Structure 1
């Protein structure tokens, strides 16, 4: 499941996410990603449906927890302040993020100009969207909270929300030199999905 808040030039996507690291550490929680909207030419009549293309990610927050830690610890919470094309920068850890992830996320969303600068982009890109994004920040955070690791899900519930990521899970598993039977069993629904 992917929830997208689309503004004029910027979009915010919110979803449940699950991943397994090369060290076979399983993480899950809310992923919030900001990206630019790619302008599209008008098609059809004045009443025709139009394309909305979310492209060029520039910032991501992963409000994650490790599956082997208490559900409210946010032990794997981090963010990626920029992207190289579609590839995120290295993880950045923040004590403020771990201590109070929802306040931290709200503060980030309320300053999209700063996020654009941090990503090496012109903050004027968000000129038409900054006030709207600030106004919608509480709604976006509420959407993200429904995918929080504070609300533990069973493996099958996690799969239901992230089944579109099966190819990514297979790629993650390929990076683990010797996955344990427990890891393979946990990943089975993603691995079996065609």
Structure 2
């Protein structure tokens, strides 16, 4: 499931995320991504449905916990910018692990700074900066719904992240030979096909 808050040029995507690292540890929680909407020409009549293209990521917060250390927010990190569609390296912050939801609220309350940190001119988003700030409580509320502290079974997690099955299979190719992982825990993602 993916929840998108879209404005005129800014969008915020919130979702549950699941991944497995090269050391075979699994991480779960909320992913919050800031993106730009690509302007689209009007199509059809004045009543026609319009195309919404959300395609330029510039900031991502992964409010994750490791399943081997629940409650420690040990995998919570931020990607402060992107190179095209590829995120920058993970940046860990004591503020993020101490008070993840307060940290997220603070970060989203300053979207102009997030744009600047990503090397973009905040003017590209115009009036959206104020509009996004107004919606921060709703965005953080949606993210909390997907947070790692929410009790979920493997099947609950899969239901919300089944679109990531291809990515999970790619992550498994990064695990070195001889490093074991729980195939049964990953079975739904491994069996899911497009």
Report the TM-score when normalising by structure 1.
Answer: 0.97
CA distance in 2 between counterparts of 1:183 and 1:166 reads 15
How far did residue 78 of structure 1 move?
A: 0.2
Determine helix, strand or coil for the equivalent of 1:59.
strand
Please tell me whether residue 62 in structure 1 is matched to residue 68 in structure 2.
no
How far did residue 183 of structure 1 move?
A: 2.2
CA distance in 1 between counterparts of 2:144 and 2:192 reads 27
CA distance in 2 between counterparts of 1:147 and 1:125 reads 30
Which residue is 2:113 aligned to? 114
Given that 1:14 and 1:144 are in contact with CA atoms closer than 8 Å, whether structure 2 keeps it comes out as: yes
CA distance in 2 between counterparts of 1:53 and 1:100 reads 33
Which residue is 1:168 aligned to? 167
CA distance in 1 between counterparts of 2:73 and 2:130 reads 29
Given that 1:9 and 1:37 are in contact with CA atoms closer than 8 Å, whether structure 2 keeps it comes out as: yes
Mapping 1:1-194, distance limit 5 Å: 1-70=1-70, 72-178=71-177, 179-180=179-180, 182-194=181-193
How far did residue 77 of structure 1 move?
A: 0.3
CA distance in 2 between counterparts of 1:123 and 1:7 reads 14
Determine helix, strand or coil for the equivalent of 2:182.
helix
**Where does the alignment leave 5 or more consecutive residues of structure 2 unmatched?**
none
CA distance in 1 between counterparts of 2:138 and 2:72 reads 23
CA distance in 2 between counterparts of 1:15 and 1:165 reads 11
Runs of 4+ in 1 over 2 A off after TM superposition: none
Report the TM-score when normalising by structure 2.
Answer: 0.97
CA distance in 1 between counterparts of 2:156 and 2:34 reads 25
Q: Give the number of equivalent residue pairs.
A: 192
**Where does the alignment leave 5 or more consecutive residues of structure 1 unmatched?**
none
Determine helix, strand or coil for the equivalent of 2:188.
helix
1:112-158: CA deviation from partner (whole Å, max 9, x where unpaired): 00000100111111221011111100000000000010113111110
CA distance in 1 between counterparts of 2:186 and 2:89 reads 24
Determine helix, strand or coil for the equivalent of 1:134.
helix
